[in-house]
Amino acid sequence: ALQYSSSMVLITDLRGNITYANEKFYSFSGYQADSQFNLEIENLFENDTSVVGIILDKLSQKINKTELLLKLKNNTLSWTSATFSKITDQNN
């Protein structure tokens, strides 16, 4: 379901390393799944502060949406509505 979603889907660890990105993300952003680009949340969004910090701060306030500037492969920026949730395992 995530692979064929009409929305871009990124899954990261708590450090911001992207562990999964769906086809919509790759087609919209222009990046390739096997790209040499270091796919980390901090490298994909234009912000003055840490994107991981922004997301964790929003989640601590029970807010799960914000807007971020996504850096596309062609070096342009695109405002993106971001919805996020924390997914945990037995080790939190």
For residues 77 and 12, give the distance between their C-alpha atoms in angstroms, rounded to a whole number: 21
60 close to 31: Cβ distance less than 8 angstroms: no
For residues 5 and 1, give the distance between their C-alpha atoms in angstroms, rounded to a whole number: 6
The pTM of this model reads 0.80
39 close to 23: Cβ distance less than 8 angstroms: no
Q: What would the 3-class secondary structure string for 25-64 be?
A: HHHHHCCCCCCCCCCEHHHHEECCCCHHHHHHHHHHCCCC
Kindly report, residue by residue over 24-56, the tens digit of the pLDDT. Answer: 999 999 988 776 556 788 888 988 888 888 888
Task: Quickly state the pLDDT bin for 92 (edges 50, 70, 90).
Answer: confident
